[in-house]
Chains A and B, each alone.
Chain A
Amino acid sequence: MKNSTYAACVVASAFMFATPVLADATAEGIAKYREALAEGNPAELWEMRGEELWKEARGPKKATLEKCDLGQGPGVVKGVFVTLPRHFADTGRVQDLESRLLTCMETLQGIPADEVAKTPFGKGEQKNIEALVAWISAESRGMKFNLPMAHPEEKRMYEIGKRAFNYRGGTHDFGCVTCHGEDGKRIRLQDLPNLTKGPDAARGFGSWPAYRVSSGELWSMQRRLNDCFRQQRFPYPMYGSDVTVALSSYLGVTANGTVESIAPAIKR
């Protein structure tokens, strides 16, 4: 059952991304991409590690994450990914999956959230976050986004995210909206989702975390947003900062009820 769903997702990914990838990437990239498709999405390796990490006693408190509340009660992982970001009463904040994991790691395991947030992507505890988000997102594969909007803070973060999305600045006058505000556009040969509309927002937002063939890495949503801001010529968004959570709220709410999440997807 799991394998057949998984195979369907790989095939779906191939349809969605084959054209831009084949024409855009280097020969080496194409070879790696084909290899990846032949063998399935390597994100599965991160998923397996993530499931182990969830149950592993770690940190100064030698505790597991099994009591972590991702919004549906302590320990519930199935289906939570498509409801985040959401408001959490214990922190009084709207949190995305990654900022919520920092809270759980700190309170349950005693791993300082500040230090994890400062760790560069792909290193140390950030590698563990990659594995965790791969597994947790996979547990919502095939589900539609259903972010709650009842709490005033959720509404507020959505509204802030919408404004951040349209915020044009920097040397190039770019904003998220420059590339992701219209239907059917491309950068070079890369198709750009129109993130202001439901189905595209679900396809864009619902693909991350994703395995990136070009770098052989698994990128979380935080890392994806970070690289968007880099290319916009903006300064560096701090890990788990409000702008990143607000953008995810805006994208997630826009995606609500449209197409199914395929995260962790496979990308160029």
Chain B
Amino acid sequence: MNIRIRQGAVALAVLATVAGCAGTGASRVSSADYDKDAAAVMAASFREQGIVKTDRLTQDEVMVACSKFGHSLDDDLRERFQAAALAEVKWPSDGKYIGDWKEGEKIAQSGRGLTWTDKPDAANGGNCYNCHRITKKEISYGTIGPSLYQYGKVHGSTEATQKYVWAKIWNPNAYSACTNMPRFGTHGILDEKQIRHIVALLLDPKSPVNAE
């Protein structure tokens, strides 16, 4: 009994010493120091190539926070980012949200655009199938995002849904700050016409997303 207590005390003392050392070590190089080093390394390691300039590395406030906190932002930041994202959504100039689903399917299939091997004048794709299931027919789909198969059938094609889908594509941070999904409208990846076609792919009752 006595022995056990003594061993326990020794173990505690050792732990305290180790913790003390670890504390001293950690204070020598702080996480903020590594942040600074990482920023310097990012700035020094890349060069421009083709259409891609080094300004692609410039982060806005959202990118900085999402890089640091991942999907676990605190509530204040989340609410602020989501409100700001929704406020900057550019709504369709003619008030029409629905385009041609056949064109939308082509855009959803295309992964082209904005890499250093892409041409400056080539139309950008939406990369949608890389991450989402969309039509029944296309079995080569990714799973980073949720399935969108039968999206319109489930949610209907009311104006509220059309606006939601439009904003989600324009700037998905409007509903889910630090989402994996790109800000297609905000960053000019897709234009108004292309977004209209993708909204049609998801919501038009005749689109294979909903008809099949």
* Interface, chain A (partner B; CB < 8 A): 23-24, 152, 155-156, 159-160, 163-164, 166-175, 177-179, 181-182, 184-190, 192, 229-231, 233-238, 241-244, 246
- Chain B contributes a number of interface residues (CB within 8 A of A) equal to 47
A168 & B130 in contact (Cβ 8 Å cutoff): no
**C-alpha spacing A18/B123, complex, angstroms:** 33
A235 & B48 in contact (Cβ 8 Å cutoff): yes
**C-alpha spacing A169/B62, complex, angstroms:** 10
* Contact (A233, B114) CB under 8 Å given A168-B59, A169-B63, A238-B46: yes
**Which residues of chain B are near A188, meaning CB under 8 Å?**
129-130, 140-142
**Which residues of chain B are near A174, meaning CB under 8 Å?**
182
Interface segment out of the listed B36-44, B96-104, B158-166: B36-44
B38 & A189 in contact (Cβ 8 Å cutoff): no
**Closest residue on chain B to residue A243 by CB atoms:** B45
**Which residues of chain B are near A170, meaning CB under 8 Å?**
56-57, 114
Beyond A186-B142, A188-B141: 18 further Cβ-contacts under 8 Å? A159-B38, A167-B59, A169-B57, A172-B114, A173-B63, A173-B66, A173-B187, A174-B182, A177-B70, A185-B144, A188-B130, A189-B140, A230-B115, A235-B48, A236-B46, A236-B116, A238-B45, A246-B41
- What's the A-B contact tally at a CB cutoff of 8 Å? 136
A242 & B44 in contact (Cβ 8 Å cutoff): yes
**C-alpha spacing A178/B66, complex, angstroms:** 11
**Which residues of chain B are near A237, meaning CB under 8 Å?**
45-46
**Which residues of chain B are near A164, meaning CB under 8 Å?**
38, 41-42
Contact of A235 among B47, B182, B189 (CB under 8 A): B47
B67 & A242 in contact (Cβ 8 Å cutoff): no
Q: Which of B38, B54, B187 has the most CB of A within 10 A?
A: B38
**C-alpha spacing A164/B188, complex, angstroms:** 25
Chain B nearest CB: distance from A150 CB in Å? 12
A178 & B142 in contact (Cβ 8 Å cutoff): no
**Closest residue on chain B to residue A20 by CB atoms:** B140
**Which residues of chain A are near B58, meaning CB under 8 Å?**
169
Chain B nearest CB: distance from A222 CB in Å? 12
* Contact (A166, B70) CB under 8 Å given A172-B182, A187-B131, A187-B142: yes
**C-alpha spacing A265/B210, complex, angstroms:** 42
**Closest residue on chain A to residue B31 by CB atoms:** A159
Tell me the chain B residues, 30-78 only, with Cβ under 8 Å from chain A: 31, 34-35, 37-38, 41-42, 44-49, 52-54, 56-59, 62-63, 66-68, 70
**C-alpha spacing A184/B144, complex, angstroms:** 9
Chain B nearest CB: distance from A188 CB in Å? 5
Q: Is B7 an interface residue (CB 8 A)?
A: no
B129 & A156 in contact (Cβ 8 Å cutoff): no
B67 & A175 in contact (Cβ 8 Å cutoff): yes
**Closest residue on chain A to residue B124 by CB atoms:** A171
**C-alpha spacing A59/B184, complex, angstroms:** 50
**Closest residue on chain B to residue A175 by CB atoms:** B67
**Which residues of chain A are near B140, meaning CB under 8 Å?**
23-24, 188-189
Q: Is B183 an interface residue (CB 8 A)?
A: yes
**Which residues of chain A are near B182, meaning CB under 8 Å?**
171-174
**C-alpha spacing A229/B46, complex, angstroms:** 10
Chain A nearest CB: distance from B55 CB in Å? 8
Chain A nearest CB: distance from B126 CB in Å? 11
B143 & A186 in contact (Cβ 8 Å cutoff): yes
Q: Which of A163, A182, A238, A241 has the most CB of B within 10 A?
A: A163
**Which residues of chain B are near A230, meaning CB under 8 Å?**
115-117
